[in-house]
Chains A and B, each alone.
Chain A
Amino acid sequence: MRSHRHAILFIALSAAAVALLVCDLLTGTTPIPISQIWASLAGSGASDEYAVIVRELRLPKAVMAITAGIALSVSGLQMQTLFRNPLAGPYVLGISSGASLGVALFTLGMPLLGITAGSAASAIGITGMAWTGSAAILLLVMALSRRIKNINVILIVGMMLGSAISAVVGILQYVGTEESLKAFVVWTMGSLTNVTHADLLFAVPIVAAGTALGVAVIKPLNMLMLGENYARSMGLGVRRARTMIFLSTTLLAATVTAFCGPIGFIGLAMPHLARMTFRTADHRILMPASMLWGVVAMLLCCVVCDIASRIGVMLPVNTITSLLGIPIIIAVVMRNRNSAS
């Protein structure tokens, strides 16, 4: 009965993902007929102009959206289970703050290095520094967590570190030039538009590795739902599991943040959507379900952005993900409170 329901949901979500992928490839500032899209992807019979748009712009963007949807959802699910907190998400350990510190430092230094905003060098610099900043924060949190037994203390430390770094970033913005400030703000709004094949060559394998690690901790996550004490009493090496989960989350969230900027609420909301629709606590189901929901949500956001851009409104992807994710979070929290009382 239950597995029947799961199968139907998996099929429906996959179908929705494929449909949205087609929509995403179809939409954009230049109208392209579906036959030309197919021809461009197949590599024959398409006009050069269309082929370039589809292959160099739309396809990389769609692949990055799928990658981001998977990465954020998997890391959000891991954080919610590890911290046993429905409001935990990929950024709870300060990953996005670390990334923003890296980007703030870079954009501030850009004029000194003679790099202009929007150039290839600035794109590489922003990505590299975002990743470096995230990784630095994670190393700090992991080093501190070795000395902390209580998982909630780690959560608080991560959030406080994040807030402290945000304050430093604020100072940096204050002293920065107008140009560097603009470059920074543009990054914080998140974007999928300037994705290149080279970006994908870097991002996809790292996210694949992070996802593989995520799959490897499915059993530990199921055990951790009962709390760390019970998990340990049932044979889980809790420290090792924690390290693997942190590592997976950083690979996933930091990479996406580096390339697309901080994308809010997908990682927070999609695991909840997976729980609500699949009605299970088993991570063997929840993990792929969250991934699929993440893919659907990100592609949907992209389509919305594309349609908006066609009528001349350039929406940052972050605003759309927030508008989509926040109602879901509110619904979940209210439902939980109601059933608990």
Chain B
Amino acid sequence: MSFEIFFQNLLNALQWGSFYALIALGYTMVYGVLLLINFAHGDIFMVGAYIGFFFATLLMGKYAGFSTGLPPAVIFGLTVLVTMVLTAGVGVAIERIAYRPLRRKGASRLYVVITALMCGLILENGNLALLGASRRNFPELLPNTVHNIAGVTFSNVKILVIVTTILVFILLETIVRKTKLGMAMRAISYDRMAVPLMGIPVDTVIVFTFILGSSMAALAGVLFATAYPVLEPYMGALVGWKAFIAAVLGGIGEIRGAFVGGFLLGFVEIFVAALFPSTLRDLIAFSILLVFLSIKPTGIFGIARATKI
């Protein structure tokens, strides 16, 4: 493999890993706070992509007699913001409707995980029933210039995705390490019994966690739709599963873990496809991960805990 191809694949892997990282984040934060694997998260990512699609096309004036005439880059910025807000709403609504009542009744976490799986299926099939199986094309909002430096090509979108992911990482690390809410989140994951006794509003912290996780999924959704502009109701399922694997790989419950795990999975997938026949990609990629996990079952940054689901 020449340097040129190596660097090209490095960039490919960074972009692909970015999506895993952004989605894995939601899994890992909810797990950190609730010890709940939120299997609906991949589908929240899908919902984010669809909300982004409808908002962007609305601003572009695709629907009856309403056009803002804004430049596409501004539309993109607005779409990202609005989608993050609305999708955060969806995440919080799911928490309110599905998870909180169960938590109040003191149901075992197994039931909550099953509920999460069902929520994901409801989102997928609800979308299918509402919008039909036909694919949608996310509009091209950003100028897609292709740059070429010493044989390595990359587009604006690729750079945007990678830079955004790194910024998100810095932002979240700051929130979790430096703010009171972040401290409360860490406290809950450290000792969930003692925290309410200290007068920390657990529900507020949980809602905040869902807001953060879902809005990152929405960000991933819009960026994903910009990079891979064909939307379908099941787009979140496979990516969601793999992002969950990335979260476990990094050590679930750890924000650093989600990022490192996401990028690692991206690297393994891209480089296996680059070096071996691509048919073997998932086989080799997941065998590597299996071996890795059997050596270090708690993931890269994980700490052993007594109970995990």
Q: Do A and B come from one complex?
A: no
